[in-house]
Structure formats: structure tokens, C-alpha cells
Amino acid sequence: MIPLRGLLAFLAIIFLASVSHLFAYDFSGEELGYEFGWNGITAADASVKIVDKSCGEPCQSTTLLITGRKYLDMFWRVRDRLESLSTKPAFMPRNYVFYQREGQFNMDTSIELDQQAAHLRGKRFRLDKQKHFKDVEMEAQGLFDPISALLFIRSQPLQVGDERTIKVFDGKRVHWLNYKVLGTEKIKIKLGEFDTIKVAPRIIKSSSYEEKGKVEKVRQVTIWMTDSPAHTILRIESEAFVGHIFAELVKKN
């Protein structure tokens, strides 16, 4: 089986603390397409769409669809859907869902804001085992969901040498996600050549003690973004046990 699941899980965490913007970027109307794979072999496609939506205040709705290539369905069928509703321009989460459909693993995860209590409430249900997990509540202040975290990072100036840690709630636990801006680099992908900013994200700890070992096993990830203010993600590479897993931009509106 091509090891996509680790990359998809990591993207769900990064796709990555009080908020202080030097400028705000509006991603509404953005539509992107990506290919995922292992050692140059494409195994899945992803689409991203961002639109304006009201949530009692100006918000943006982001939808991410991940679909495995049909020739791999007999081995590992992937049909994931992630949706995030977050405020503009602070990217604070209001609602998030992750419908995870990977082989026999079928999990629904949701995060909802309890405005009265100022808490984010995470709920999880394992469909294939008909199992409800205990709800998890976290104080909402300073937390991003996995998608709004990515929009927040992209909205920042991202100067070479910058380093920052933000907190991301995935519905089960809080992750402290550190990212460093390593430098600039010109890269070539299917869409052409681009001047990029090279960013290295890394989960440095999680709120659940029993997950410490898994956090330490997260392999090196590198993200190349356009050096323009939109900081569009062009390519992601993650080390695997053998070779590397990648995601690459193949469509942009």
C-alpha cells in the first residue's frame, strides 16, 4: 500500500498563540487542485475551494476533497472530505468537519464553537465500528482548526528566518505546531517555474501524553509556497520509511 495516510493526517493538522496580523489576506474565491503520491507515483487528487460565508460575522468556508486514484481502490480506497468555517481576517474556527474515508477506516470528526462558554467542542464517531468517543472541550482562545491554521500561516509575511508556534485543535487533542521559514528557492513543477519561500512545519508536542511517541515519530516535512502575499502552496514533501511522499499543485484558478 502506498503510504498516503500519514501525509493526509499531517495535512489535516497543518491544512497549520494569539493572533496579530501585519496584514490580512482574503482567500475567498480561491480554487486549487493537487496531486498526491509516493516517489513520483501519483496516488490521489485533492481540490480546495474557498468562498465567503456569514457566521454572524464575516467568515470564509473552505472545502478540501481528497480522492484516491481508482486503480488503487482495491488496495486502499480514499474519499476524504474536510470543511472549515472560520472568521475573517483572524481565521478563528466556528465549525469544522472531517469525514475520513480511508479503506475500512471511517471516522467523522467535528469541532463546534460554544460561544457562550467560549470553548471548542470536538466530537468523534467511528462509523465502521459504530463507536462514539468522549467529547473533548478546549478553551477557544488562541486555537485554530487544521484548515484555519493553514490559512493563518499563509496570511503571514513569512520572512526568511521567521519562526513561530501556534496551537491547532483537531477534535481530539491540541498540537503545538512550530514552523520555520528556511529560505527562498526557485522550483519547477508541472505548472511552471516559481520563486518560493521554503517552510518547515513540525509538531513539537500534543496535549495527550499517550501520543508523545507518535509525535516524536513525525518525519521531516517541507513546504514550498509562492513568495507573493497569497503564499499559495506549490509543493509538499514528507520523508517516508522508503523515499518520500509528495503533494504538488496542478491546477489554479
Per-residue pLDDT tens over the stretch 90-134: 999 999 999 999 999 999 999 999 999 999 999 999 999 999 999
- The per-residue pLDDT for range 10-35, each reduced to its tens digit, is 454 444 333 333 346 889 999 999 99
What residue ranges do the domains of the chain occupy?
4-252
Indicate the pTM of the whole model. 0.87
**Residue 219 corresponds to which amino acid?**
R
pLDDT at 214: 56
End-to-end CA distance of the chain: 32
Digit-coded pLDDT (tens) for 30-45: 999 999 998 889 999 9
120 within 8 A of 93, measured Cβ to Cβ: yes
* Spatial separation of the C-alpha atoms in residues 208 and 124, rounded to whole Å: 16
Indicate the pLDDT class of residue 216, thresholds 50, 70 and 90: low
C-beta atoms surrounding 187 within 10 Å? 14
pLDDT at 156 over 80: yes
Helix, strand, or coil (residue 177): strand
Distance CA 59, CA 152 (A): 13
pLDDT score of 38: 87
Q: Position of cell 486514484?
A: 69
pLDDT band at 200 (very low <50, low <70, confident <90, very high): very high
DSSP H or E run through 33? strand 31-38
- Average per-residue pLDDT for the chain: 88
